[in-house]
Homo-oligomer: A and B are copies of this chain.
Amino acid sequence: MKGKWHIGLIRVVTQEDPALRELHGNRIMEYFPELEVESRCIPDQPEGIHSDELKDLAVPKILRLAESFHGKDALIVSCADDPGVPELQKLLSIPVVGAGSSTALLARRYGPRAGILGITDYAPSPYGSMFGEGLINLGRPQGVNSTLDLMTPEGRAAVENLALRLKDAGAQSIALACTGMSTIGVAGPLRRLTGLPVVDPVLAEGLCALYECLNTAYGK
């Protein structure tokens, strides 16, 4: 085995607290000991991205932040909407991985009909690109507008209710569509509740980054 792969990770929400900033990166290093992750946040966007307007605001910041990393084997944009990912894949010579396309990809492993479970009524674009008509979108969990709402008993009950309705609607998997779903660790409980595979965005983006590193290295 070579040493570690060096991954730059872009958070699309401004986090002043280092523990919060490093949360996704630390999770990825726990899953994949061969990855060394350095996390940086875009500036002046404490609410992150939960609308098209906020996405448009974030993309130029993401492109600038990507330039600040040096000596990385791959970059991750840790957001289910893959903001800036198509642009960066053209601009950079290293692989660029988004949480949304990674999650949608792994959900596709279980068949062409996936249920999407996030905190927006619209499906982030990578999910539609992957599944097309096969994507089952029943909107967001009732009363949930942000990841904070997920931590209340009512929010948690709404998420569970939506997961069961996605199953009833024919979903072969549940593709989580917000990295906040990783933060609260809801994939395992939802799998036990529904019996369906549930794809965690932070695990998925880490796996795809590892794949890209291996694929590049072993092809040399």
Contact = CB atoms under 8 A, between A and B. Distances in A.
Interface in A6-46: 30-31, 33-34
A1 to B, nearest CB: 5
A189 B1 CA distance: 21
Main secondary structure of the interface of A (DSSP, over half): helix
A79 interface: no
Contacts of A199: 215
A188 B218 contact: yes
Interface in A192-217: 192, 197-200, 203, 207-208, 210-211, 214-215
Contacts of A188: 218-220
A111 to B, nearest CB: 9
A136 B192 CA distance: 39
Contacts of A187: 215, 218-219
- Number of identical protomers: 2
Q: Interface centre among A109, A191, A192, A210, by most B CB within 10 Å?
A: A109
Interface of A: 1, 30-31, 33-34, 101, 105-106, 108-109, 130, 187-189, 191-192, 197-200, 203, 207-208, 210-211, 214-215, 218-220
21 contacts: A31-B218, A33-B34, A105-B106, A105-B108, A105-B109, A187-B219, A188-B218, A188-B220, A189-B219, A191-B219, A192-B219, A197-B215, A199-B215, A200-B215, A200-B218, A203-B214, A203-B215, A203-B218, A207-B207, A207-B210, A207-B211
